[in-house]
């Protein structure tokens, strides 16, 4: 019978005998877990040599010797010679050090599980019969996909310390949330959500999870920021896992920094899960690259609710791509400031409403006429405004046509 244990290898010595494909594949796991890795082998793969050159691990360029195991907590016998691997396993057995024998797992005292990480949970699969790596990886991948799809309730069953997880849900399409973001939703006792972002994800949240809507619109702020901060802290202090579900990325014009500060000041553990920011993803979704070689090599992202920032005005005048969030209401002021600051009236502008959702719509014009066009077409928030040559409707088509064939 094989017992599945979790080993804490942080700062502990792992010795790997062998420098070939098996050692190369498995060393990544040990390095990710913070182990102090020593490779003992006359030759090593380019990947292992690179790790050694960067100081990630120690490479001893010779055949493995019994004394190499003296300070080891775990040994991997991964040479090309099964007899040598068996000898290494015997040395480890004599020292009461667990050993994985890559030639024959039945000769070793340990087996390495195929694992997947899901927040603070690690799921591992091992075989108790003859080793079959492809089989256990297939099971691992199927279980991981089920968990990461939000199909498993990951809420804690025992009382514990409360915490806050700030999750960027992306621009609106629920498929654009990160894997960690979806995992966090499965861990939530409470979800504090915005009006924007991938709110469709809340459909899959269990009925007994408390959902608190604190969303704002341009002219309606029913829950002020200081009250949102208090909601997060109070629920976490009550021992709950609180997911703060925010549109886009929490730290891109999303007041995520203020919420993290409030949690830390209150002594509440907080995790930040970055999201796909609408500033870059929404233009990309409609074929607008915010940077393009030969067109624009820099981009400025700004909030437009207070009008045109001086940096944005200067950027428009110098041909830098300017991406404006929350700027629909202030569009006339932004355009006027840009023109007064020296921007070319013919500079292309694209406005993408409700990006990545079923209601997505793109309105195009130039600086000299976009205000009139937006008024005539009834542009409404939420919308992303892109100012610059990258917003030309024919940009990608012309760039592709200009690329020489090889």
CATH number reported for the structural domain that contains residue 292 in this entry: 3.30.950.10
For 16, residues 6+ apart whose C-beta sits below 8 A from its C-beta are 23, 26, 27, 30, 37, 38, 39, 40, 41, 75, 76, 78
pLDDT single digits (tens) 101-139: 988 766 778 887 888 888 888 888 888 777 777 888 899
pLDDT single digits (tens) 140-191: 899 988 888 888 889 988 888 999 999 999 999 999 999 999 999 999 999 9
Q: Please report, for the domain that includes residue 104, its CATH number.
A: 3.40.50.720
Query: In which domain, by residue range, is 259 found?
Result: 163-276
| 194 given a catalytic annotation | yes
CA dist 385 and 338 (Å) reads: 13
Residues 308 and 335 in one domain: yes
Q: Are 18 and 43 in contact (CB under 8 A)?
A: no
Confidence of residue 262 (pLDDT cuts 50, 70, 90): very high
∠391-318-321 over CA atoms, to 5°?
A: 30
Residues 212 and 260 in one domain: yes
301's tokens:
């992202």
H/E element, 190: strand 190-193
278's tokens:
């609408």
pLDDT number for residue 397:
56
Annotate 296-360 with DSSP letters as a single string.
BS-EEEEE-TT---HHHHHHHHTT-EEEEES-STTHHHHHHHHHHTT--TT-EEEEEESTTSTT-
Annotate 66-91 with DSSP letters as a single string.
GGGGTT-SEEEE--S-HHHHHHHHHH
Residues 272 and 172 in one domain: yes
Q: Which of 276, 310, 338 is the last residue of a domain?
A: 276
| 158 DSSP assignment | S
Place of tokens 């087996």: 111
Residues 137 and 212 in one domain: no
137 is a domain residue: yes
Beta bridge partners of 220: 217
Residues 107 and 118 in one domain: no
pLDDT number for residue 402:
46
7 is a domain residue: no
pLDDT number for residue 112:
79
Is the backbone peptide bond immediately before 382 cis, with ω within 30 degrees of 0?
Answer: yes
pLDDT number for residue 406:
37
157 is a domain residue: no
Q: Are 396 and 289 in contact (CB under 8 A)?
A: yes
pLDDT single digits (tens) 36-52: 999 999 999 999 999 99
CA dist 243 and 263 (Å) reads: 13
SS3 12: coil
Q: Which phi and psi (to 5°) does residue 303 adopt?
A: -90, 135
pLDDT number for residue 4:
61
Distance from chain centroid for Cα 301: 20
Residues 93 and 120 in one domain: no
Please pick, among 216, 333, 369, 380, the residue that the annotation labels catalytic.
216
For 314, residues 6+ apart whose C-beta sits below 8 A from its C-beta are 341
CA dist 167 and 182 (Å) reads: 9
Residue 399 reports pLDDT greater than 60: no
216 is a domain residue: yes
Count up the domains in the chain and report the number: 4
Residue 1 reports pLDDT greater than 80: no
Place of tokens 């309105």: 363
Mean pLDDT in residue range 227-240: 96
Q: Are 70 and 46 in contact (CB under 8 A)?
A: no
Residues 120 and 103 in one domain: no
The whole model's pTM is what?
0.77
Q: Please report, for the domain that includes residue 175, its CATH number.
A: 3.40.1010.10
Number of residues that make up the chain: 406
326 is a domain residue: yes
Residues 389 and 359 in one domain: yes
Strand 383-387 to 348-353 pairing: antiparallel
∠111-47-78 over CA atoms, to 5°?
A: 30
The CA–CA distances, whole Å, from 89 to 10, 16, 236, 386, 388 equal: 22, 11, 48, 62, 64
Please pick, among 173, 194, 246, 249, the residue that the annotation labels catalytic.
194
Place of tokens 């030309």: 392
Residues 124 and 178 in one domain: no
CA dist 251 and 236 (Å) reads: 21
H/E element, 395: helix 395-402
295 is a domain residue: yes
For 226, residues 6+ apart whose C-beta sits below 8 A from its C-beta are none
Residues 105 and 120 in one domain: no
């Amino acid at each position: 019978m094989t017992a599945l244990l979790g080993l804490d290898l942080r700062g502990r010595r792992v010795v790997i005998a062998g420098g070939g494909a098996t050692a190369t594949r498995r060393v990544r796991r040990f390095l990710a877990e913070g182990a102090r890795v020593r490779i003992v082998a006359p030759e090593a793969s380019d990947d292992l040599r690179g790790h050694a050159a960067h100081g990630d691990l120690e490479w001893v360029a010779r055949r493995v010797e019994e004394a190499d195991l003296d300070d080891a907590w775990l040994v991997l016998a991964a040479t090309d010679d099964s007899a040598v691997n068996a000898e290494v396993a015997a040395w480890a057995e004599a020292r009461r050090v667990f050993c994985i024998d890559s030639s024959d797992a039945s000769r070793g005292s340990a087996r390495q599980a195929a694992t997947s990480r899901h927040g603070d949970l690690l799921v591992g699969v091992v075989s108790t019969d003859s080793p079959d790596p492809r089989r256990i990886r297939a099971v691992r991948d199927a279980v991981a996909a089920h968990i990461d799809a939000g199909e498993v309730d990951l809420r804690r069953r025992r009382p514990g310390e409360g915490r806050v997880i700030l999750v960027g849900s992306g621009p609106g399409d629920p498929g654009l949330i990160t894997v960690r973001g979806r995992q966090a939703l499965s861990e939530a006792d409470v979800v504090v959500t915005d009006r924007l972002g991938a709110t469709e994800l809340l459909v899959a949240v269990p009925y007994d999870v408390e959902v608190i809507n604190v969303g704002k619109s341009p002219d309606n702020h029913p829950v002020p920021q200081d009250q949102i901060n208090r909601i997060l802290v109070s629920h976490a202090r009550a021992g709950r896992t609180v997911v703060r579900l925010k549109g886009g990325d929490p730290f891109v014009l999303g007041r995520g920094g203020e919420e993290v500060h409030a949690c830390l000041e209150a002594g509440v553990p907080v995790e930040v899960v970055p999201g796909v920011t609408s500033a870059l993803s929404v233009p990309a979704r409609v074929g607008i690259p915010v940077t393009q070689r030969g067109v624009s090599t820099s981009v400025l992202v700004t909030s437009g609710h207070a009008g045109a920032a001086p940096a944005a005005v200067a950027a428009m005048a110098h041909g830098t791509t300017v991406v404006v969030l929350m700027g629909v209401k202030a569009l006339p002021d932004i355009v006027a400031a840009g023109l007064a600051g020296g921007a070319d009236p013919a500079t292309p502008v694209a406005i993408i409403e409700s990006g990545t959702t079923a209601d997505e719509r793109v309105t195009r014009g130039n600086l000299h006429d976009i205000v009139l066009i937006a008024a005539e077409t009834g542009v409404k928030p939420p919308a992303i405004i892109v100012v610059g040559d990258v917003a030309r409707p024919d940009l990608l088509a012309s760039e592709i046509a200009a690329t020489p064939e090889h």
